[in-house]
């Protein structure tokens, strides 16, 4: 099966014709007129494909946004339910629930630094060049028993589901 010429092939044909010196003017004009129609048709078809692709891309972008919102909603709902489960297990003094399909337990989080007042944090706990508080250094010193003004260690709990 022979496919119609591509836009590149039509362009090359037209350029070759224009560079031929021994072609009669009438024959050149007729041939160029025929190529012009074929080139216009190819260009119209290419624009139709471009429009369809851009429309598809926009639909994908909208679907990505919808799915991202759905994911955020599901993550937030999951987080709320975990917290709900944890609070009620802690209120009842239950540290572990075993079921045939999974085990639920309350686990202690490792100590974390909570900044109470950034203005009180000594400058030696600031990273350079971006002025950012070095929580790792603060945690190290707090665990070693040193006092760091404006920062405290806190430990929390979490629900672990296995």
Q: Are 127 and 136 in contact (CB under 8 A)?
A: no
pLDDT in tens, 69-102: 999 999 999 999 999 999 999 999 999 999 999 9
Exposure string of 26-39, with b = 16+ CB inside 10 Å and e = fewer, is eeeeeebeebeebb
pLDDT-derived band at 18 (thresholds 50, 70, 90) equals confident
Residue 48 in this model has a pLDDT that exceeds 90:
yes
Question: By C-alpha distance, which of 161, 2, 22, 53 is closest to 97?
Answer: 161
For residue 154, the cross-strand partners are: 112
pLDDT in tens, 105-158: 999 999 999 999 988 888 888 888 878 888 989 999 889 999 999 999 999 999
Per the model's pLDDT, the better-predicted residue between 159 and 1 turns out to be 159
Residue 23 in this model has a pLDDT that exceeds 80:
no
| Cα–Cα distance, 152 to 112 (Å, whole number) | 8
pLDDT-derived band at 57 (thresholds 50, 70, 90) equals very high
| Cα–Cα distance, 77 to 64 (Å, whole number) | 20
Q: How many CB atoms lie within 10 A of CB 113?
A: 21
| Cα–Cα distance, 52 to 59 (Å, whole number) | 10
Q: Are 35 and 13 in contact (CB under 8 A)?
A: yes
Strand stretches in 32-150, DSSP E = 96-98, 103-108, 112-115, 126-127, 132-133
If phi > 0 it is left, if psi is from -120 to 50 it is alpha, else beta; for residue 102 that is beta
| Cα–Cα distance, 140 to 7 (Å, whole number) | 68
């Amino acid at each position: 099966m022979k496919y119609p010429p591509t836009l590149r092939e039509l362009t090359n044909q037209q350029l070759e014709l224009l560079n031929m010196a021994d072609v009669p003017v009438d024959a050149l004009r007729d041939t160029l007129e025929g190529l012009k129609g074929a080139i216009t048709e190819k260009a119209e078809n290419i624009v139709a494909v471009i429009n369809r692709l851009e429309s598809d891309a926009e639909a994908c972008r909208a679907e990505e946004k919808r799915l991202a919102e759905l994911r955020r909603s599901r993550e937030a709902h999951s987080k709320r339910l975990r917290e709900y489960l944890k609070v009620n297990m802690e209120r009842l003094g239950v540290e572990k629930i075993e079921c045939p399909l999974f085990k639920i337990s309350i686990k202690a989080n490792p100590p974390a630094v909570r900044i109470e007042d950034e203005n009180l944090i000594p400058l030696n706990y600031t990273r350079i060049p971006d002025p950012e508080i070095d929580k790792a250094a603060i945690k190290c010193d707090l665990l070693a028993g040193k006092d760091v003004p404006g920062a405290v260690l806190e430990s929390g709990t979490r629900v672990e589901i296995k």
